[in-house]
Every structure is written in structure tokens, then in C-alpha cells.
Amino acid sequence: MTRSAGRAPRVGIVGLGYMGLGTGLAFAARGLPVIGYDAKPEIRSAVARGVTPYHEKGLAALLRTQVRSGRFRVVDRLDDLVAGAEGIFLCVPTPPRPSGRIDLRPLRRATAEVARAIGAVTRYRLVVVKSTVVPGTTEAVVLPDVLRHSGRTPRTVSVASNPEFLAEGTMVHDALYPDRVVIGTLDHRAQEWLERAYRPFRAPVVSLTPSGAELVKYSANAFLALKVSFANEVARLADRLGVHVDRVMDAVGRDPRIGPRFLRAGPGFGGSCFEKDVSAFVARARELGVPLRTGAAALRANEEQMAYTLDFVRTVVGTLAGKRVALLGLAFKAGTDDVRESRAIPIAERLVAEGAEVRAHDPVAVEPFRRIWMAPGPRARGRLKLCSSLEETLTGADVAILQADWPDYLRWTRARSRRMRRPLLLDLRRALDPQAAERVGLTVIGLGAGGPVSPARIARARRAR
């Protein structure tokens, strides 16, 4: 038995992004003492004051409670974190590179700093890779880096993989009530420590090697992306066949072998994970001589879904030049202010490139969208106005496009319809009930809801005021 076996495991979180913060607060909420650190001073000071830098349901309340309880604290020096925590979770980004592979530099920098700090303490330490990395990375890259920079041997320091499955928008719930905890270790000490740390969560623990755990993470995201892409392809077929995709996928998903979730067609998947992870998975599989055709197909179908979405808009709206378009929802999905890989970006780009005058709105993601939109690059920036009010966005619009299904958009009113020049909404998520909308003067045409769109319906929408 280790000397610290009677005490609650002490957790260190390096990287207080969405995922690091969610993970750390969940450990604190389960009674473990947690120390957090982020390389960015502004994030450290915000979190230390109990302020979340991100829009995430329940996160701010959880942070305040855990900071107040004293179980979650932020330190300004990594050395203090390493001195106080035995299990150090690396939660730093692994951004995509143009080749599809991931950029390991931030992770390797954090690993080196943590390892050097480990070299300065005497007790056992465990470095846990929570960042998403391709199978083989923990063993082939992180372990040698930890040993080299700490000057330790595997008798007094371990590495492990412990991937996360938190989705933005439901992160707090996902972190507090995990479906499963996946642990990839190389020795008993690391295994035992992680099992103790996760015991209060009462979740099933799946134990593998680090490569096995890393493979679980990529397989899960690739499979979820595949489900979405599959539903999107069925939506295109449904439009051709005059069938509603949700009725079809509802019946398909009732088969317990398939399951109902992640079968909602839309403009294609976005976010910082699916495209990045599946691309990296496909690239890694290729390196290993095993073509991952399903992953590549999910990505390809996702690109095609964007093209289909734009065609759908053009079919209904006709020429875009000179039209005023209200783009509703800029985040990659409702419930978050994250705009990374949001489908709103290519949609807005296309609309602007084709001469539309775009007014764009999101309840929380206007500023993050502005930062991406204004970033240097080849983007056609003219004729897009970011609005803070929905009313302003809709005023004089020839058409609205619903990209993210925020609850407020679903509470449509006659006043909103009246603000538009033509009260027509293209619902990329089929979130509004077209009949209820019709009663408040709005014609809704859903992607995958059984087009092709009848010219009579469009004409009616254009006449209605």
C-alpha cells in the first residue's frame, strides 16, 4: 500500500480550457482536492475569482461552489501544482495541422514543464494525458519526454492515458456522471491511483493500455461522426423522395442495436473535435498501413453536406445577390459560444461571396465569431453585419437561415415574422414546427424535411407579409 493510500487522491489540472476546467471541477465536486493551472495569466485570474471564461451550462455555478469550498484552487506556478498534486492531468489543446495530423507542440511543452517540476520533488508522480492524442502518443512521446525532463525512472513516475468524452453544452453533466471511465496504464501504481480518483463517480471503469485508451477515444468520435454523416446522407435522400428524415431516423434509431442519438441531420458536423479527430485518426491509420475508409467517408460526406446545404438555400432563395439574409446561430451548435469549425462560417462566407447582405446573430457567440471572421485570411469580409439583437437581424430580411437551434429562436412570434421583408425561414436543423410557425406568419422549410421545395410554397412565403 502506498503511503498516501488513506488520503483522497490530490488532482492537478494543467490547462483550464473547457475540458480541463470541467474535469477539474467534477473531481472537486466528488470531494477530491484539485489544483488548477493555465499558462495564460488571464485565464488563471478569471478562474481563481470564480469567473468562467466560457459559456457552458452550469459551469459558472459549479466553479463558484468549488472555489468557495476550497476544494478547487488555482495556482500561478506550475511548480506549486506539481508539489501539491500526485496525479497531474494534461488538458492542453492538440490543434489540427493542415496535413490532418495534430500539433503536439503545446502538449510536449506542457509535458516538459511538468516533468521538470517533477524532477524537483521527491515523491511519486503520475502524468495523465487527457488531451486527445493519436494512438501510441502517450507511450512513444509523453513517457520518454517525462523521463528525460524529470530525470526519474519508471519506478517513481508513471504516465497514463485517460481520454475525456465531454460534449460542450452538456459538459458539467457529462463530467459528473460519466458513462464510463477509460484508463490506459502501464503499471499497477498508476492504475490504482486512477481507480481511486474515479471511485466517487461510481462509473464503470474500462482498463486498457495507453494505446488502447487512445484508440477508444478516436473510435468513439469517428463512430459518432459517422452516425451524423449517415443521417445527413439519408436527409438528402429524404428530400429527393419527399420523406421527412426525422421520421425515418426515429424509426431506425428505435432499434437498440443502433440507438436514437446522433442521428439528427443538419448542416454537417462542426466543433473542435470531430473533424480534427477523424482526420488525425485517418492519417494515423494510414501510417499504420490500415486504411480507415469509414472515417474518410464521414469527412467526405460532411464536406458534401455543406455543399448540399448551400444548394438547398439557393433552391429556395434563388439568386443570393442583393438579398438580405438573417443568419441565426453562429456557434457550432446551440448551448455553447464555441465557433470553432462552426458551419456558420462557410455558410456566411458563401452567402457574402454570392452577393448577399448578411446579418448574423447568436445569443452568446457573436464576439467569438467576430474574432474568427476578422482574423487575417482570404475571407470575403464585406457585407456581413454582426447584430446583438434578433430584431435588428431580422429587419428587412428576405430569408432567415437557422444554423443553431437555440431555444429562443424556437419561440417565434408574429412580431418577428413582421420584421422580415419575406417571412421565410430555412431550418437547417428542423427545430421549428412548421405548422405552429405558419400560425404566426412564418413559412418554414426544413432541410431533409421532404423537399424538393414546392414552388407554390415559396411563392406563398414571398407573398405573405
Burial of residue 6, with CB atoms counted within 10 A of its CB: 0-12 exposed, 13-18 middle, 19 or more buried: exposed
> According to CB under 6 A, which residues from 302 to 341 bind ligand UGA?
332-333
The stretch near ligand UGA (CB under 6 A) out of 30-38, 273-281, 419-427, 434-442 is 273-281
Residue 201 interacts with ligand UGA (CB under 6 A): yes or no: no
Q: Which of 271, 346, 363, 368 binds ligand UGA (CB under 6 A)?
A: 271
Beta-strand ranges (E) seen in 69-124 are 72-74, 87-90
Residue 264 interacts with ligand UGA (CB under 6 A): yes or no: yes
Query: Rounded to the nearest whole angstrom, what is the least distance from the CB of residue 342 to ligand UGA in the complex?
Result: 8
Q: Which of 14, 194, 228, 339 binds ligand UGA (CB under 6 A)?
A: 228
Sign of CA dihedral 369, 374, 377, 379: positive
Query: Rounded to the nearest whole angstrom, what is the least distance from the CB of residue 447 to ligand UGA in the complex?
Result: 11
Taking the least distance from each CB to ligand UGA, the nearer of 246 and 398 is: 246
How many residues touch ligand UGA under the rule CB under 6 A: the total is 21
Query: Rounded to the nearest whole angstrom, what is the least distance from the CB of residue 169 to ligand UGA in the complex?
Result: 7
What's the rounded Cα separation, in Å, for the pair 3 and 7? 9
Residue 449 interacts with ligand UGA (CB under 6 A): yes or no: no
- CB-based contacts of 288, cutoff 8 Å, min separation 6: none
The stretch near ligand UGA (CB under 6 A) out of 143-151, 186-194, 263-271, 443-451 is 263-271
What's the rounded Cα separation, in Å, for the pair 465 and 463? 6
Residue 16 interacts with ligand UGA (CB under 6 A): yes or no: no
What's the rounded Cα separation, in Å, for the pair 264 and 380? 31
Q: Shortest CA distance to 52 belongs to which of 172, 29, 61, 340?
A: 61
Residue 165 interacts with ligand UGA (CB under 6 A): yes or no: yes
Residue 168 interacts with ligand UGA (CB under 6 A): yes or no: yes
Residues designated as active site: 273
Q: Shortest CA distance to 114 belongs to which of 72, 71, 84?
A: 84
> Cβ distance 296 to 129 under 8 Å?
no
Residue 346 interacts with ligand UGA (CB under 6 A): yes or no: no
With b for 16 or more beta-carbon neighbours within 10 A and e for fewer, the 378-403 pattern comes to ebeeebbebbeebeebbbebbbbbbb
What's the rounded Cα separation, in Å, for the pair 120 and 68? 30
The stretch near ligand UGA (CB under 6 A) out of 30-38, 161-169, 344-352, 363-371 is 161-169
Taking the least distance from each CB to ligand UGA, the nearer of 54 and 124 is: 54
Query: Rounded to the nearest whole angstrom, what is the least distance from the CB of residue 167 to ligand UGA in the complex?
Result: 4
Residue 263 interacts with ligand UGA (CB under 6 A): yes or no: yes
The DSSP symbol for 156 reads T
Q: CA dist 293 to 133, 264, 275, 278, Å?
A: 20, 22, 15, 11
Strand partners, 184: 161, 208
Query: Rounded to the nearest whole angstrom, what is the least distance from the CB of residue 212 to ligand UGA in the complex?
Result: 17
Q: Which of 36, 93, 253, 270 binds ligand UGA (CB under 6 A)?
A: 270
Residues that bind ligand UGA (CB under 6 A): 132, 164-168, 221, 224, 228, 262-264, 266, 269-271, 273-274, 277, 332-333
